[in-house]
Amino acid sequence: MTSNPNSQPSRLVRRTVPTHALPATLHPVLQRVLAARGVVDAAALELSMAGLLRTDQLGGIDSAVALLVEALQAEEKIVFVADFDADGATSCALGVRALIACGATQVDYVVPNRFEYGYGLTPPIVELVVARGANLIVTVDNGISSVQGVAVARSAGLKVLITDHHLPGAKLPQANAIVNPNMAGDEFPSKALAGVGVIFYVMLALRAELRRIGWFAEKGRSDPNFGELLDLVALGTVADVVPLDANNRRLVAQGLARIRSGRCQAGIAALLKVAGRDPKRLLASDLAFAIGPRLNAAGRLADMSLGIECLLSDDPPRALAMAGELDSLNQQRRDIERDMKLQALDLLAQDRLDGKPLAYGLCLFDPTWHQGIIGVVAGRIKELYHRPVVAFALTGVDELKGSARSIPGAHVRDILDTIAATHPDLLSRFGGHAMAAGLSLRAQDLPRFELAFNEAIARHVDASAFESWIYTDGDIPPEDMNLGLARVLSEAMPWGQAFPEPLFEGEFEIHERRVVGNDHLRLLLGFKTASQKIAAIAFNAASAPWATATTIRAAYRLAVNEYQGRETVQLQIEHAELVSG
């Protein structure tokens, strides 16, 4: 790259629609949407568990199952070590529930408090596990970077099974078994499994082996139905923002179906209730934006044990009480996040006032920032400025913890790996994947890191990655903008990361406008080619440059609006550009 990328307005680009052989019974608009996402024939529409990738395709799974079978037969104590986010919590709850259903007599878990122990299987966490009398440690959603922790556990006589999905480093931990689809040479076709997906696969393989050796018959137990755990898989997969490839779409679709039919864990039902979501109409976006954040709030502000206990509870009143605590924590998180975001924007504004150009990567730090919220703030700033962002918090007298969020084309974990190779004394630890990562360094080294971060991005990221395009699915004829199509689009597939919810574009006349909720715009829009009008909502747009225009070009979602028990169709405007007025 030869020049610094400048901030520029987003531009609308229509997605390419390949030739397809989708059923003629599908609405033409839905056909176009699906084909643009690579769903080009009827077979790709099928989302049953029958098409799930096989467990024997996942590397290391035989060794993992052998460890678990041995532990079950010897009635050894198995302790899960979980990450402190929604993926880690659902992974832990799923593992505990699955082993108990298989007849395990001693199952426990430990989840590190991020403020005391940090991330992963660290030596201090191993001490806690040893004190609980563990024989086998099973990590979920972590462990692939825990070289020292695994070494301490093995020297203490513990067996270690790592289940993870994060990218491995140059040195692997010497665990007894590792299951991670992102291991070098692993032939599992899907590299997008979340941590909860990995442990689900391990438990499916364990169940198959226990059936083969006659375990359930010997113990007088029925074969466990692990379909009952798919709600946990769906929640963890969506909340961790992993790509919804074909395999993950199956897992999420099946989990959503269970929740909609009222067959979900008491904890998930409770979280839906406090979030005001109707289980019968649940969408993947509800898991992402309503349930996931409430679960994550425990790990960000307190202790994720609260979230795990909520997911493990079979007592609806108790689960509801814990969901209420999680809801309160989430409100606190929102308040802290709002203040930190404003401070971050002030820092960036001051840089511009001081004449500093906008960097390739943004490094933000304030000594008052809450370490549990820096990842959220990094994500918000990344969305606004469309470039990699690292937000830092002070975690000790001279140590900073950073949380990075990135954009397509800028693989942030690889960027950190490059920094570690060229500046071996700079990062004390790091890990993550393409779009998100964590790191630690000495406070006095922040200026050095900022320079190295930008040098690495300049060297390895193409300038086109900084262009903020908005990809749309074209327009919708006015006559098709109805409640029926809105429902079809929302329910057709689990939409999410790398399989985005349908987004359309069009030119509209603004006939009415009013500000609601302080900063949102409620609009009545008209068409140049039709006499009908349609309602629209634009969030946080009251002061947008186009807010007083007479005509706009907008990117929008065709949404179902429910108010006082009545459903209507409305456009949810995601982006708009001034045409005239």
pLDDT at 546 over 80: yes
As a whole number, the mean pLDDT across the chain is 94
CB atoms inside a 10 Å sphere around CB 202: 27
The closest alpha carbon to 511, from 483, 539, 549, belongs to 549
pLDDT value at residue 5: 39
pLDDT value at residue 475: 95
pLDDT value at residue 345: 95
What residue ranges of the chain are covered by domains with CATH 2.40.50.460? Answer: 11-37+470-580
For the segment 362-413, what is each residue's pLDDT rounded down to a tens digit? 999 999 999 999 999 999 999 999 999 999 999 978 999 999 999 999 999 9
Contact 520, 538 (CB under 8 A): yes
Buried b (16+ CB within 10 A) or exposed e, 6-40: eeeeeebeebebeebebeeebeebbbbbbbbbebb
Q: How confident is the model at residue 118 (pLDDT cuts 50, 70, 90)?
A: confident
Supply the pTM of this predicted model.
Answer: 0.92
pLDDT at 356 over 90: no
pLDDT value at residue 113: 82
CA atoms within 13 A on the CB side of 132: 22
Tokens linked to 117 = 């122990």
Q: What is the largest CA-CA distance in the chain?
A: 78
Q: Taking residues 116-130, report their average pLDDT.
A: 90
Contact 483, 569 (CB under 8 A): yes
What residue ranges of the chain are covered by domains with CATH 3.10.310.30? Answer: 357-466
CB atoms inside a 10 Å sphere around CB 151: 16
pLDDT at 2 over 60: no
pLDDT at 212 over 50: yes
pLDDT at 127 over 50: yes
Identity at 4, one-letter amino acid code: N
Q: How confident is the model at residue 10 (pLDDT cuts 50, 70, 90)?
A: low
For the segment 152-167, what is each residue's pLDDT rounded down to a tens digit? 999 999 999 999 999 8
Q: Taking residues 565-580, report their average pLDDT.
A: 90
Fold topology of 357-466? Diaminopimelate Epimerase; Chain A, domain 1 (3.10.310)
Interaxial angle between packed helices 316-353 and 374-385, expressed in degrees from 0 to 180 and rounded to the nearest 10: 50
Q: Taking residues 430-458, report their average pLDDT.
A: 94
Fold topology of 11-37+470-580? OB fold (Dihydrolipoamide Acetyltransferase, E2P) (2.40.50)
Q: Which CATH class is domain 56-328?
A: alpha beta
Paired residues of 364 in beta bridges: 391
What residue ranges of the chain are covered by domains with CATH 3.90.1640.30? Answer: 56-328
Q: How far apart are CA 249 and CA 263, in angstroms?
A: 19
Q: How far apart are CA 571 and CA 555, in angstroms?
A: 9
pLDDT value at residue 7: 40
Which residue in this structure is represented by tokens 């041995």? 70
Report the DSSP pairing between strands 436-442 and 427-432: antiparallel
Q: How confident is the model at residue 580 (pLDDT cuts 50, 70, 90)?
A: low
Q: How far apart are CA 80 and CA 62, in angstroms?
A: 19
Q: Taking residues 283-293, report their average pLDDT.
A: 96
Q: How far apart are CA 443 and CA 283, in angstroms?
A: 42
pLDDT value at residue 169: 85
| Residues above pLDDT 90, as percent of the chain | 87
